[in-house]
Amino acid sequence: MSHADFVHLRLHTAYSLSEGAIRIKQLPKWVEAEKMPAIAMTDTNNMFGGLEFSQTMSGAGIQPIIGCQIAITAQPNDDENAGLSVKNIGPTAPQPIVLLAQNDPGYRNLMKLVSNAFLTSPDGEDPQISIEDVLDHNEGLILLTGGHLGPIGQLLLQGHKEKAESLLSRIKSAYPDRVYVELQRHNLPEQDQIEDDFVDLAYGLNIPLVATNEAFYPNKDMYSAHDALVCIAAGSYVDQTDRRKLTPEHYLKTAAEMRELFKDIPEACDNTLTIAKRCAIKVENIPPILPPFDCGEGRNEEDELRKMSEDGLKQRLIDGVYTEGMTPEERDEVSKPYWERLEYELGIINQMGFPGYFLIVADFIQWGKEQDIPVGPGRGSGAGSLVAYALTITDLDPLRYALLFERFLNPERVSMPDFDIDFCQDRREEVIKYVQDKYGYDHVAQIITFGKLQARAVLRDTGRVLQMPFGQVDRLCKYVPNDPGKALSVEEALEQIPEFKQEVRDDETVERMVGIAKQLEGLYRHASTHAAGVVIGDRPLDKLVPLYRDPKSDMPVTQFNMKFVEQAGLVKFDFLGLKTLTVISTALKFINKGRETPLDITKIPLDDKRTYEMLGRGEGGGVFQLESEGMRGVLRSMKPNRLEDLIAVVALYRPGPMDNIPSYIERKHGREEPDYLYPTIEPILKETYGIMIYQEQVMQIAQVMAGYSLGGADLLRRAMGKKIAEEMEKQRAMFVEGSVERGVPKQKASDIFDIMAKFASYGFNKSHAAAYAYVAYQTAYLKANYPAEFMAGIMSLDLNNTDKLNMFRQELDKLKIPLLQPDINKSNVIFGVEEIPNPNEEVGGTIKAVRYALSAIRNVGDAAMESVVAERVVNGPFKDPFDFANRVDSKGVNKRILENLVRSGAFDGINSNRRQVFDGIETLIKHSNLAAEERSSDQIGMFGADDSAMKKAAQLPNVPDWPLMDRLREEASAIGFYLSAHPLDAYKTTLKRLGVKSHVEVLQNGISGPVKIAGTVISKREMISKKNGSRFGFIQLSDSSAAFEVAVWAETYSVSRDIWETGQSVFMMAAAQFEEDNVKYSVNAVELLDIKAAKSTAGLKLYIEDQSAVGLVKELLDREGKGRGNVTIMARIDATTEAEIQLKDRYNITPGLLQAVKAVPGIADVQEI
């Protein structure tokens, strides 16, 4: 026999998530080595890998058998469901059978059944289908009974032989000659127990037997690793006994092993070949299928596209090209290239068969804009299409910015167009819902994506299931870099990191852990939904692809991933959620509130001087794409003054092209002469001062210099990017020949080809850069012209990110825009903008300020704050804490929420004593509960309609407010940073005595050299030197003027590492180094500010009006401990007499003590001596 005498029909690939460990790409090699003519894929309840498996196997000359192990639901008790009766045999879990596709109808039925399993199964349960579904959708399918775990096997194990026979008979009626009784021998007692029953049933009903070995992993050596995988999936431990456990026999056995195993029933192995011969389905690639677009009567899609494009272009010309006072002739002249380009593009779109695609995209984008849903200007190469611009799919004029249509749709390389469309992230779902409603729920789906066991994660999971100490596992995981750009596999980490390798050598447990992790790395762990991809079909999608349901979404999802869903004939549309569009939308709501003429962000001037000046100062904080420190530095040097500069910087600011930034800047400012390489291509490179930045420039150079068509030039660009030597030499010959024909010297042409080839490896798509630069400019324009509204908008999109909010707070400080503390009567759920009196009384008038959002307070929640604001809007401001408690439901606004509202200062407007309100929260909650009970019982209450008597009956405790430092600590715990004041405010006298300069004072001074500075630690980044392994740190601090960063190099850091804890206030001796307008600090010495203050303060003088204060003062002094400071008490004896008492002991005098003593009742004044 030329091929093996057995074929595997029960096999779990890696797409049996966290269960299968057989990788599809590695399978052909094994099958070829075993000379098996065919092999089946039967993943658990899914067809995720169906198309990939079919292509991979058939591509290797192996017959793919596409199947699925699918679970059957236990049915209610009735005679027809013989055997699957819950009442008769007790509750049972879904029971698996195996379905194999014989032909195309079988493949379609299999997709339908697998889709139903996901889409119709109850929430929280595994995918499953009814026996009726299996019997009804039988055409073209072969059914294997599922072994001892299947419905027949389970009935036999429970002693229900008659029911098993009845059910098998029913199945045979639906699957005549297409049902096989499945025998398995994995050394399981249950299989041995019922094997004879299986054989008897098969012979009695004249049903053939078939032998299978349910393979989950490729070979015996992987049993332990696979066992760990099962534990990872179940959240159990390897040493547990009460868990799912497979046997060492569940591997991919050879034909010889299977023949030996079933030598007493050879026909069971023979039938695997019979089944393989009966299955003849290979899933073919299908050309793109789009739903028809409704054009109305009398017009086809080509006519409709032409009409919409021509109408749209007329409007675009009026809005953005024609200028006031142009004559008709001038308009004709300026519009001519637009109409020529439109005609050219329409010809290609129609020739390639894509008018429907453009119409579909235009339809849902135009609908979104009509609903005031912010839509991006277009990203990616689609911005190069004038048709897209005319249809308002994109908002960038491709002729004005020299964007090429062929970069998007190349007539010489047929592929689907692909628009990447950005929507406001808060309203993206509305657009998808519109598409569902228009084309049908069963015609629209999102696209699946699979999460893998990556290096760090698989090490961590393996360590957990082996019950290794958490600290040890954590340390080992950190050897593997977590940076996406520098990701290493476990194997690569072992090769490149000697310490990691040594740990493996030194410890057998670590060696075992790493060995298992290496085998499991890269396997699929879970399925989820792609962030953007949506497919739209011309028919119910389960006729083209199997469907999945993401538990987090009510929308169907394709079971094939992005790559294979397109090969199955479906066209992908990208609905991307861009946070920046939501920021712009939110800011515009603030700006347009009360304005007669709303600001239209699509019609802002693109030459706004204030915007470019702001960017040129490096003040791009919060600006899309331009906010990083590095980018701000580039813009400070560049001083951009046109959108083209922003397009260039977006394209250049990446590894590789960054090397060209200095030349671009020097040439822009006339300090370096541009080199345009050759006169005929100067117009192409003039915009970028002779530097190749964009892929489109490569295409244009090939067109102008060597006579390429733009389609051919796009193929050249691709060839250069891929660097295939043979193709490159072919293209070089064409380029040089075409250039020589146009008068270019041969050597010059070859040199330019080399420059283009070098550039092409990192050249950027100008259409994409232009679209992003346009959005960047929009955000910069808003920040430069409407800074308070812009900052309120951007902060509202990061309500739960206190690090970012603190960064934005610092940005507000730079902009001199006050950030007002949260206020229960003035704050809304999100950040807002308020007019307040100008603190500068000489100038007078009002200024704009940002009001802190209630939902940005930690652990309060949006829903609770929405209820508070809604109550205030309906019934007016809250008068006092009891009025608040009376009107707000304590179930929604509970104790923890109240505590953080008080800590944050949100109640200061109705009671400024935070400690009093905080200590009275229990009283307020009781008050709230009583009020709620009375409302629910519709009673006026024991005190009548006026609740003043209730307030008198329940009083807040009579306690002094928290001292300033305690107050700020509580505030920071609720907000995430200091807002109403700064910890250094308590040290003003001390800082002045020490000669400390604020960060802003250092900046204003502008002189490099030694400085004394102080700050409160915000965060710490600890680094390790690659040279010698020493540790150093970059510390973020703030003082009352601004936030700043200091570098603490190894020598200083080694002796001060423990000082740099968040919240600590420190005194620093540092070196200030100025680079243009920026300063960098290097710390030479550091000390806790409390200790430094105690050393520098001579003493305190206390003025006491009440004798009771003496005891409290003594407690506070004793708490601080002995030190160097004198304490003098001035005690009032009577109206005319004071006594001065010098305390014998000296004490530690700190700002904290100062604030605490000031808060003591009976203290009239406290002075530092």
DSSP 497: -
3-state class (DSSP) for residue 22: strand
Phi-psi sector, 177: left (phi>0), alpha (psi -120 to 50), beta: left
Q: Where are the beta strands (DSSP E) in 749-845?
A: 819-820, 832-837
Least confidently predicted of 31-40, 214-223, 336-345, 543-552? 543-552
Q: What is the pLDDT of residue 88?
A: 38
Q: What is the pLDDT of residue 42?
A: 97
pLDDT bin (cut points 50, 70, 90) of residue 1083 is: very high
165-176 b/e (C-beta count within 10 Å ≥ 16 → b): bbbbebbbebbe
| Domain end marker among 975, 1000, 1032 | 975
Q: Mean per-residue pLDDT for 240-248? A: 91
Q: Are residues 755 and 822 in the same domain?
A: no
Phi-psi sector, 553: left (phi>0), alpha (psi -120 to 50), beta: beta
Nearest to 375 by CA among 365, 367, 388: 365
Most confident of the ranges 49-63, 996-1010, 1125-1139: 49-63
Q: Is the confidence at residue 975, as pLDDT, over 50?
A: yes
Q: Are residues 727 and 863 in the same domain?
A: no
- What is the DSSP annotation of 516-532? HHHHHTT-EEEEEEEEE
Nearest to 446 by CA among 581, 327, 547: 547
The residues, any chain, with a CB within 8 Å of residue 836's CB and separated by 6 or more, are 818, 820, 846, 847, 848, 849
Q: How many CB atoms are closer than 10 A to CB 125?
A: 11
Q: Are residues 145 and 268 in the same domain?
A: yes
- Is 57 within the bounds of a domain? yes
Spatial contact of 104 and 139, defined as CB atoms under 8 Å apart: no
The model's pLDDT over 778-788, given as tens digits with 9 standing for 90+, comes to: 999 999 999 99
- Is 517 within the bounds of a domain? no
Q: Where are the beta strands (DSSP E) in 1029-1150?
A: 1031-1038, 1043-1048, 1065-1075, 1078-1088, 1099-1104, 1122-1132, 1138-1142, 1147
- What is the DSSP annotation of 988-1052? HHHHHHHTPPPHHHHHHH---EEEEEEEEEEEEEEEE-TTT--EEEEEEEE-SS-EEEEEE-HHH
Question: Which residue has tokens 């995988």?
Answer: 229
The residues, any chain, with a CB within 8 Å of residue 134's CB and separated by 6 or more, are 70, 72, 97, 99, 113, 143, 171, 174
Q: Is the confidence at residue 1136, as pLDDT, over 70?
A: no
Spatial contact of 452 and 14, defined as CB atoms under 8 Å apart: no
Q: Are residues 658 and 753 in the same domain?
A: yes
Rg (CA), the chain: 37
Percentage of residues in the chain having pLDDT higher than 90: 61
- Which residues make beta-bridge pairs with 1033? 1022, 1048
| Domain range for 1125 | 1097-1168
Spatial contact of 730 and 738, defined as CB atoms under 8 Å apart: no
Phi-psi sector, 302: left (phi>0), alpha (psi -120 to 50), beta: alpha
DSSP 599: -
Distances from the Cα of 1119 to the Cαs of 135, 1093, 1113, 1116, 1153, in angstroms?
82, 16, 10, 5, 9
94: phi then psi, degrees, rounded to nearest 5: -55, 145
**Cα separation of 755 and 776, whole Å?**
30
**Cα separation of 540 and 443, whole Å?**
5
Q: What is the pLDDT of residue 412?
A: 78
| Domain end marker among 728, 746, 780 | 780
Q: Is the confidence at residue 876, as pLDDT, over 50?
A: yes
Q: Are residues 1077 and 1112 in the same domain?
A: no
3-state class (DSSP) for residue 1167: strand
The domain that holds 1103 is classified in CATH as 3.30.70
pLDDT bin (cut points 50, 70, 90) of residue 76 is: very low
Q: Are residues 798 and 668 in the same domain?
A: no
Give the total number of structural domains in the chain.
6
Helices (H) and strands (E) in the chain, counts: 48, 25
- Which residues make beta-bridge pairs with 1079? 1074
Estimate the crossing angle of helix 629-638 against helix 643-652, to 10 degrees. 140
Instruction: Determine the residue type at 678.
Output: Y
Q: What is the pLDDT of residue 1135?
A: 61
HSE at residue 248, side-chain half, CA atoms within 13 A, is 3
Nearest to 570 by CA among 383, 715, 439: 439
Q: How many CB atoms are closer than 10 A to CB 913?
A: 19
- Is 486 within the bounds of a domain? no
Q: What is the pLDDT of residue 933?
A: 80
The model's pLDDT over 512-521, given as tens digits with 9 standing for 90+, comes to: 999 999 999 9
Q: What is the pLDDT of residue 92?
A: 57
Question: Which residue has tokens 């992908």?
Answer: 572
**Cα separation of 53 and 60, whole Å?**
11
Q: Where are the beta strands (DSSP E) in 120-221?
A: 141-144, 179-183, 209-211
Q: Are residues 1139 and 1010 in the same domain?
A: no
**Cα separation of 70 and 231, whole Å?**
22
Helix (H) or strand (E) holding 746: helix 746-760
Percentage of residues in the chain having pLDDT higher than 70: 95
Q: How many residues does the chain have?
A: 1169
Q: Is the confidence at residue 976, as pLDDT, over 60?
A: yes
More confident position, 853 or 287: 853
The residues, any chain, with a CB within 8 Å of residue 59's CB and separated by 6 or more, are 28
Nearest to 1129 by CA among 1137, 1120, 1138: 1138
Spatial contact of 14 and 44, defined as CB atoms under 8 Å apart: no
The model's pLDDT over 684-726, given as tens digits with 9 standing for 90+, comes to: 999 999 999 988 888 899 999 999 988 888 888 888 877 777 8
The model's pLDDT over 234-243, given as tens digits with 9 standing for 90+, comes to: 999 999 988 9
- Is 885 within the bounds of a domain? yes
| Domain end marker among 975, 996, 1011 | 975
- Is 525 within the bounds of a domain? no
Q: Are residues 942 and 1048 in the same domain?
A: no
Q: Is the confidence at residue 1108, as pLDDT, over 80?
A: no
Q: Is the confidence at residue 808, as pLDDT, over 80?
A: yes
Q: Are residues 962 and 996 in the same domain?
A: no
Q: What's the maximum distance between 2 C-alpha atoms anywhere in the chain?
A: 123
Q: Mean per-residue pLDDT for 373-393? A: 92
Phi-psi sector, 380: left (phi>0), alpha (psi -120 to 50), beta: left
pLDDT bin (cut points 50, 70, 90) of residue 1125 is: confident
Q: Mean per-residue pLDDT for 739-757? A: 91
Q: What is the pLDDT of residue 86?
A: 37
Q: Are residues 713 and 804 in the same domain?
A: no
3-state class (DSSP) for residue 6: coil
Q: Is the confidence at residue 874, as pLDDT, over 50?
A: yes
Estimate the crossing angle of helix 710-722 against helix 725-741, to 10 degrees. 140
Locate 1020 and state its tokens.
Answer: 């710490």
Distances from the Cα of 1078 to the Cαs of 531, 666, 799, 1069, in angstroms?
39, 21, 30, 19
Q: Are residues 1076 and 1111 in the same domain?
A: no
**Cα separation of 1167 and 1152, whole Å?**
14
Q: Are residues 926 and 1023 in the same domain?
A: no
More confident position, 17 or 986: 17
- Is 469 within the bounds of a domain? no
* Global confidence as pTM: 0.81
The model's pLDDT over 893-948, given as tens digits with 9 standing for 90+, comes to: 899 999 999 999 999 999 999 999 999 999 999 988 888 787 777 654 444 445 55
Question: Which residue has tokens 């020949």?
Answer: 737
**Cα separation of 756 and 763, whole Å?**
9
Spatial contact of 261 and 185, defined as CB atoms under 8 Å apart: yes
The model's pLDDT over 320-350, given as tens digits with 9 standing for 90+, comes to: 899 988 999 999 999 999 999 999 999 999 9
Q: Across the chain, what does the average pLDDT equal? A: 89
The model's pLDDT over 397-410, given as tens digits with 9 standing for 90+, comes to: 999 998 989 888 88
Q: Mean per-residue pLDDT for 191-211? A: 95
**Cα separation of 632 and 618, whole Å?**
5
Q: What is the pLDDT of residue 87?
A: 35
pLDDT bin (cut points 50, 70, 90) of residue 1117 is: confident
| Sheet architecture: strand order including 38-44 | 38-44, 63-72, 95-101, 141-144, 179-183, 209-211
DSSP 659: G
Least confidently predicted of 57-66, 137-146, 300-309, 1032-1041? 1032-1041
**Cα separation of 127 and 47, whole Å?**
12
**Cα separation of 908 and 895, whole Å?**
18
- Is 737 within the bounds of a domain? yes
Locate 244 and state its tokens.
Answer: 């799912």
Helix (H) or strand (E) holding 547: strand 547-549
The domain that holds 1008 is classified in CATH as 2.40.50.140
**Cα separation of 820 and 799, whole Å?**
15
- Is 175 within the bounds of a domain? yes
The residues, any chain, with a CB within 8 Å of residue 415's CB and separated by 6 or more, are none
**Cα separation of 427 and 367, whole Å?**
12
**Cα separation of 266 and 206, whole Å?**
17
Q: Is the confidence at residue 74, as pLDDT, over 70?
A: no
